[in-house]
Chain A
């Protein structure tokens, strides 16, 4: 009788910060390269291929920044809350670190969605800001991100900071469907969704430009989050031997 099991692919192996640090380091250049290529393709379509809009003229071209940023702001929040919840439930260090790493990128995407939306609102609605359900809930999303960052920064004990942040992140998740469905539930000035499971109400080239830009933002966000999580691993594991060896090697470069 033998008790050894055949070596097989083990997902838990990647849950070790040391393993994940190396894996993330290898992945970052690929995601960044994809982000650059997709951005160039997206900008090409956005400005040179997509036609002028019949009703909004050229101002609609803000869509190629605005919608990808708004999508990422919501998506990143859900991913952040997911990893925070996993960290809270299973006490896995890496999950909590991922949640912490996502927050700044999510906050920046939210800020960009609000900024570009405001610059789009001025020519189309005549106002930079209205207290419309969509805009207000997106502003609350920004405060949730900032609250998460501030709360974690205020607590010295890392494990307690992770737990407190996780509770805030999980409660805040209710805001995401509110943002998404706000244009249906309330009579908003903000237009309804142009893209849904039933199809799209946009011209094909406009839609493609938007989707490619969304993919570019996605790849960039992954690269940024992986880069930040590597730094967080260095910060939190700074007393371990492997981090000390790694830092010494970095110094020689």
Chain B
């Protein structure tokens, strides 16, 4: 066990900003990517539906 207290854990021996800044960016990047992946899929499915409706109305 490396840490005596939560304070020691968060301060990371004085390097807290650098260490947590790296991990926070990893979390942010993954969250952004997952959101983008889901919204792009939704948009693609909507587009399929729209084109299908259009194809049906013209035929």
Contact = CB atoms under 8 A, between A and B. Distances in A.
B19 to A, nearest CB: 5
Given A62-B22, A248-B52, A238 B15 contact: no
A57 B36 CA distance: 37
A38 B1 CA distance: 20
A61 to B, nearest CB: 5
A227 B41 contact: yes
A57 B13 contact: yes
Interface in B1-53: 1-2, 9, 12-15, 17-19, 21-23, 25-26, 29-30, 32-34, 36-37, 40-41, 44-45, 47-49, 51-52
B23 to A, nearest CB: 6
Contacts of A111: 29
Name A's interface SS: helix
Given A57-B15, A115-B25, A228-B37, A47 B47 contact: no
A108 B51 contact: no
B29 A59 contact: no
Nearest to B13: A58
Contacts, number: 95
A140 interface: no
Contacts of A62: 18-19, 22
Nearest to A53: B13
B37 A231 contact: yes
A235 interface: yes
A87 B9 CA distance: 49
Contacts of B13: 52, 57-59
Interface in A210-253: 220, 224, 227-228, 230-231, 234-235, 238-239, 243-244, 246-248, 250-251
B52 to A, nearest CB: 5
Given A61-B19, A231-B37, A239-B51, 11 more contacts: A47-B9, A58-B15, A65-B22, A104-B33, A108-B32, A119-B17, A119-B21, A244-B48, A244-B52, A247-B49, A250-B45
Interface of B: 1-2, 9, 12-15, 17-19, 21-23, 25-26, 29-30, 32-34, 36-37, 40-41, 44-45, 47-49, 51-52, 55
